[in-house]
Amino acid sequence: RTFHRGEAIFLQGDSGNAVSLIKAGRVKLTKILEDGIEITLDIRKAGDFLGENMLSEEVDYPVTAWCLEQSLVCSFTRERVENMVLDHPNIGLQVSKNLSNRIAWLTNRIGSMSLTNLEDRLHRVLLHVAREHGTRSAKGLTIQFPLTHEDLSFLIGAHRVSITRAMKSLKESGKIIQHGRMLTLPFERRGVL
């Protein structure tokens, strides 16, 4: 199914009945906390799964999946995924690799949060997003979809106002270049990022 930018694939609290594979596009996962604040947890791209917790249990979706751009998503019931894995073991291997990569990303993100310098934490998270989702140009890696300061505040664990100051510092130092709503992380002098 094709979803448009700003459309939800599923909402937090919806009955979880499918695991989805993103075939094209980008999806932001958010969670609404008890106090009503919505936080950004992750950004997924083509080849990533959504609702993978449905593989282990039948529960409601714990997050909302919002399309950052037009996205093509294929969804499968838990039973269908289990049958596909039994019939085609390579699918199971790909699911395992995808989940392993997600664990590595979360471990890296936690490591980034341990850095005391906010600019370093922000730069590290932006670098990871650029490597995973960015496009390569002569100047560096460009994140071509908007990331709000609020999105970034939840991705690195800092207040939005602090993100604004850190972004200004990174721009002044030349570690990031902003063109409209796009961010470019220039290549380092020693080679690639």
pLDDT on residue 24: 96
User: Quick one: which H or E segment has residue 140?
Assistant: strand 140-143
Q: Which tokens is 153 given?
A: 């505040």
Residue 192: pLDDT band (50, 70, 90) is very low
Tens of pLDDT, residue by residue over 11-25, are 999 888 788 999 999
Tens of pLDDT, residue by residue over 112-121, are 555 568 888 8
Tens of pLDDT, residue by residue over 142-162, are 998 878 888 888 777 778 888
In sequence order, the 6+-apart residues with CB closer than 8 A to the CB of 41 are 29, 30, 31, 63, 154
